[in-house]
Chain A
Amino acid sequence: MEQDRIQELIMKYNEGQADPSEIKMIERLIEDGTIELSQLTELKVMEEQVMKMESPIPGPELDDRFYQMLRAMKKNGSGFSWASFFSWPELAPKLAFASVTLLVGFFVGYLFVPSPQSNKEVAVLSQEISDLKEMMMFSLLEKESATDRLKAVSLTSEMSASDKVTNALLKTLNSDDNINVRLAALDALKPYANNSKVREELVRSISNQESPLVQVALADLMVELQEKSSVKELQKILKDDNTPKEVKKRIEESIKTMT
């Protein structure tokens, strides 16, 4: 705002002519320091009078009471006092130390004592992992690449026994195009051979096999298991004209050891 306008405003105010909006403006100018209170003559006089106003002098009683209080405080101030013990500046560091120690204690306790809650969590987690592996195995078995299917078969060794797993392996043993995959499936089935259902399926699988390698491997497994019911199936291979001589010889030996 221009200096002239400000002077005009001050003059108007000093003459008692300022309207409410102008007074508001003066307030704003006072607030930002453009107008000093001393420039407003009438108020200056008023303020000076306030400054000059004399107050009575306090009586001697005030002095007595003050020095009495001071003496009492000095007495209390020396030595230990419960009041000072519980006063905030004294108490705050103690409280802080106590709470930090408590927190550290809780933390250490938490580290060393596994909670039942966390055991439960671990169980849930491992279940989730095995589910995931199972899913991965099935999806790998569907793959065209023999390597992937081999991976799937090897995954079963890390999984807990279940009908789902053995059925998948038996299916692979009977129907996979690749000999290596079938051999791997047979290998993976060995740990489950104690299961009678699996044994039955293995015996039934003998006549399904066309590959001499798988046939020999199955014959070896039968010998290992001393599965006599397999003799009939093995003899079927012997009768087959397509069976190579070496294989026939090997199977004959196997039958001999079983009977």
Chain B
Amino acid sequence: METLSDNALMLKVKDGDLDRLGLLFERYKKPLFGFFYGMNKDAELCEDLVQNVFFRILKYRYLFRGEGDFKTWMFHIARNVNHDHYRKNKLGKTESVDEWNERLGHSDIYTTQVQQDEELKMLSLAMERLPEDKREILMLSKFQDKKYKEIGEIIGCSEGAVKVKVFRALQDLKAVYKQLEKHM
């Protein structure tokens, strides 16, 4: 069977062939879930948010012009869904320093975790401790395969500015990671 491009599928959805959205859903449910999971680590919430993204894609399908990349457009929506969720619930937006220290204080709990699954688990912990915007840029970089130009389109800045944001986020991540290592 001929594989239709994302854009071609989405244009068909726009024209009223809603079933085609199923194919797009199958292609992108995992990366979208991964993006949200990277942002909030709550599987149930992530499923809600993924569902919400596809609901918005359907609702605003008339806005898709087919000029840009579908994936970029979809992540743009995903980002808005995530922001709206935090705005509505006002949780986890900013993690207080106290919370931070508290978690570091209980590092013995994490020690066993880290021993079990080495670096990746620690990295995951380090990611959790990053401010939301930094976590977001790293997640976008991951799920957009480091296409900085497209990420710029999603968050509304230049390619160069995206690279600087990624640089700063990675620097912070490295710093947190090193700090965690010390506590282990």
For the complex, what is the distance from the CA of A232 to the CA of B113, rounded to whole Å? Answer: 140
Which of B46, B158, B170 sits near A58, CB closer than 8 Å? B46
Closest to B138 in A: A50
Closest-by-CB residue of B relative to A71 is B18
Interchain CB contact (< 8 A) of B51 among A23, A33, A53, A69: A69
Q: Which of B1-17 contact A (CB under 8 A)?
A: 16
The CA-CA distance from A56 to B106 in the complex, in Å, is 25
Among the 9-residue stretches A60-68, A162-170, A207-215, the one with 4 or more Cβ atoms under 8 Å from chain B is A60-68
CB of B174 within 8 A of CB of A56, answer no
The answer to whether B22 has its CB under 8 Å from any CB of chain A is: yes
Contact call A70/B18, Cβ cutoff below 8 A: yes
Q: What distance in Å separates the Cβ of B151 from its nearest Cβ neighbour in chain A?
A: 12
Contact A49 B119 (CB under 8 A): yes
CA distance A69 to B19 in the complex (A): 11
Cβ of A27 and Cβ of B164 under 8 Å apart? yes
Residues of chain B with a CB closer than 8 A to A27's CB: 164, 167-168
Given contacts A56-B37, A56-B43, A66-B25, contact A73 B164 (CB under 8 A): no
Interface centre among A33, A73, A77 (most CB of B within 10 A): A73
- Cβ of B29 and Cβ of A62 under 8 Å apart? yes
How many chain A residues touch B (CB < 8 A): the figure is 36
Name the A residues within 8 Å of B127 (CB-CB). Answer: 50, 53
Contacts of A61 in B (CB 8 A): 47
Collect the chain B residues with CB atoms within 8 Å of residue A65's CB.
47, 51
| Residue in A50, A51, A58 whose beta carbon sits within 8 Å of that of B29 in the complex | A58
Q: Do the beta carbons of B37 and A30 come within 8 Å of each other?
A: no
* Interface assignment of B177: CB less than 8 Å from any CB of chain A: yes
Interface status of A55 (Cβ within 8 A of chain B): yes
Q: Would A57 and B30 count as touching, CB distance under 8 A?
A: yes
Complex Cα distance, B33 from A127, in Å, reads 81
Which stretch (A39-47, A108-116, A181-189) binds chain B? Answer: A39-47
Q: Are B171 and A47 in contact (CB under 8 A)?
A: no
Residues of A within 8 Å of B51, CB to CB, are 62, 65-66, 69
Cβ of A74 and Cβ of B164 under 8 Å apart? no
- B164 near A31 with CB under 8 A, answer yes
Closest CB in chain B relative to A63 CB, distance in Å: 8
Number of residue pairs across A and B with beta carbons under 8 Å?
106
> Chain B 154-174 against A: per-residue CB contact (8 Å), 1 yes, 0 no?
000010110110111011011
Q: A58-B30, A77-B16 are in contact. Are A37 and B163 (CB under 8 A)?
A: yes
By DSSP majority rule, is chain A's interface helix, strand, loop, or mixed?
helix
Contact status B174-A42, CB under 8 Å: yes
Given contacts A32-B160, A50-B127, contact A73 B120 (CB under 8 A): no
Is A52's CB within 8 Å of the partner chain B? Answer: yes
Given contacts A37-B166, A54-B120, A65-B51, contact A70 B19 (CB under 8 A): yes
- Whether B170 and A49, one on each chain, are in contact in the complex, defined by CB atoms closer than 8 angstroms, is no
Instruction: Decide yes or no whether A89 CB sits under 8 A from chain B.
Output: yes
Complex Cα spacing A77 to B43, Å: 31
Contact A47 B62 (CB under 8 A): no
Pick from A23, A46, A66, A89: contact of B170, CB under 8 Å:
A46
Q: How far is the CA of A31 from the CA of B158 in the complex (A)?
A: 9
- The CA of A49 and the CA of B46, in the complex, are separated in Å by 22
Closest residue of B by beta carbon distance from A51: B142
In the complex, B70 has a CB within 8 A of chain A? no
Q: How far is the CA of A213 from the CA of B21 in the complex (A)?
A: 108
Residues A53 and B33 in contact in the complex (CB < 8 Å), given A31-B164, A69-B54:
no
The residue in chain A whose Cβ has the minimal distance to the Cβ of B119 is A49
Q: Residues of B contacting A51 with CB < 8 Å?
A: 142, 146
**Would you list 11 pairs from A and B whose C-beta atoms are within 8 A, ordered by A residue?**
A27-B168, A30-B163, A30-B167, A40-B167, A43-B171, A50-B141, A66-B29, A66-B54, A73-B18, A77-B16, A89-B62
Tell me the A residues contacting B by CB distance below 8 Å.
23, 26-27, 30-33, 37, 40, 42-43, 46-47, 49-59, 61-63, 65-67, 69-70, 73-74, 77, 89
